């Protein structure tokens, strides 16, 4: 498991809201004097789908990816474990940046695709249920001085953001659950469950197939077969399992005979 990092400071979004058809001035390319400057000393939050894509692109296991390239942090308010790309400890550069640019560019994380756009989340408490983008302007980035203009929706399409957003929805729901806002202490074994099912899919696959897991849960045969080889299917299942195991939601069905054990376990949790 990667080392734990510093708590996460949630950023305050720029009040200048951009809708999908609003334009902004920006261009990024290797001819700019700032090329790759943005790939160092930066906090890049990784989503489960980012990790899935990156470990596949690098041809390594999820456990190896987590060990080599990530660091665990906590959200400041609710202490939810989240994952960050680990910068080189000496140069503070991203492990994937080269003189020629990003060496995993077709598989780069969601945060790298979005830049220089930020996203204000509609479900985040205090944002009034609205969703908008905003421009991130940093002195190091000279892309804002270029004459090219984009509509927000053009930028998102060009950067291939859509599959990341779709795959991110169930993860976002998990992160925004009332469970975290209850202030309840999250036990170390619960943290491990979350990190395994969200990010360490190869370990989660062994947990599903090499323990009594499938004797306890009633999962359709087709789904079980898909999960043997399909990481996306396994991730979707893992997020459902976390809602069941952490929040007590009925997102999965227990086989007959295991329901009673679950009720007893929840009663004893409630009385402790
Ligand atoms: S993943 Fe690629 S684009 Fe993102 S910071 Fe690293 S080198 Fe830059
Ligand atoms: S600093 Fe801005 S313009 Fe320069 S490479 Fe990074 S994103 Fe592109």
Residue 81, beta-bridge partner list: 74
Decide whether any atom of ligand 1 lies within 6 Å of the 97 Cβ. yes
Place of tokens 């020629």: 100
User: Which residue's C-alpha comes closest to atom 1 of ligand 2?
Assistant: 141
Decide whether any atom of ligand 1 lies within 6 Å of the 87 Cβ. no
Q: What is the pLDDT of residues 34-58, one digit of tens each?
A: 999 999 999 999 999 999 999 999 9
- Closest-lying ligand to the alpha carbon of 32? 2
> Contact at 8 Å (CB) between 57 and 46?
no
pLDDT of residue 264: 52
> Contact at 8 Å (CB) between 194 and 246?
yes
Alpha-carbon distance 186 to 169, whole Å? 23
CA distances from 43 to 152, 195, 205 (A): 23, 18, 29
The CA 1 to ligand 1 mean position distance, Å, reads 22
Q: What is the pLDDT of residues 62-99, one digit of tens each?
A: 999 999 999 999 887 778 899 999 999 999 999 999 99
Alpha-carbon distance 172 to 253, whole Å? 23
The CA 139 to ligand 2 mean position distance, Å, reads 10
User: Which residue's C-alpha comes closest to atom 5 of ligand 2?
Assistant: 35
The CA 27 to ligand 2 mean position distance, Å, reads 8
Q: Is the pTM of this model over 0.85?
A: yes
Decide whether any atom of ligand 1 lies within 6 Å of the 94 Cβ. yes
Q: Which region holds residue 210: left if phi is over 0, alpha if psi is between -120 and 50, else beta?
A: alpha
Q: Beta strands of 47-175 (E only): which ranges?
A: 70-75, 81-85, 97-98, 101-102, 117-120, 132-135, 149-151
Decide whether any atom of ligand 1 lies within 6 Å of the 227 Cβ. no
- The better pLDDT of the pair 148, 8 is held by 148
Place of tokens 């421009």: 135
Q: What is the pLDDT of residues 188-230, one digit of tens each?
A: 999 999 999 999 999 999 999 999 999 999 999 999 999 999 9
**How far is C-alpha 97 from the chain's CA centre?**
20
User: Which residue's C-alpha comes closest to atom 4 of ligand 1?
Assistant: 112
Q: Is the pLDDT of residue 185 over 90?
A: no
Decide whether any atom of ligand 1 lies within 6 Å of the 102 Cβ. yes
């Amino acid at each position: 498991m990667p080392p734990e990092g510093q708590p996460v400071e949630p950023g305050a979004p720029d009040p200048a809201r951009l809708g999908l058809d609003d334009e902004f001035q920006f261009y990024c390319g290797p001819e700019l004097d700032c090329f790759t400057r943005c790939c160092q000393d930066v906090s890049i939050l990784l989503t489960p789908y980012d990790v899935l894509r990156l470990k596949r692109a690098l041809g390594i296991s999820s456990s190896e990816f987590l060990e080599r390239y990530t660091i665990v942090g906590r959200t400041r308010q609710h202490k939810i474990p989240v994952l960050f790309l680990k910068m080189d400890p000496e140069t503070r550069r991203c492990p994937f940046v080269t003189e020629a640019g990003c060496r995993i560019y077709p598989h780069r994380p969601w945060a790298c695709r979005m830049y220089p756009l930020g996203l204000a989340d509609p479900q985040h408490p205090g944002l009034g249920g609205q969703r908008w983008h905003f421009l991130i302007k940093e002195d190091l980035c000279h892309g804002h001085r270029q004459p090219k203009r984009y509509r927000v929706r053009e930028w998102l399409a060009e950067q291939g953001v859509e599959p990341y957003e779709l795959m991110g929805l169930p993860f976002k729901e998990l992160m925004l659950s009332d469970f975290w806002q209850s202030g309840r202490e999250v036990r170390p074994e619960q943290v491990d469950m979350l990190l395994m099912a969200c990010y360490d899919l190869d370990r989660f696959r062994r947990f599903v197939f090499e323990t009594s897991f499938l004797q306890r849960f009633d999962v359709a045969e087709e789904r079980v077969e898909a999960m043997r080889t399909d990481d996306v299917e396994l991730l979707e299942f893992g997020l459902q399992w976390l809602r069941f195991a952490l929040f007590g939601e009925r997102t999965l069905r227990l086989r007959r005979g295991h329901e009673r054990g679950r009720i007893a376990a929840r009663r004893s949790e409630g009385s402790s």
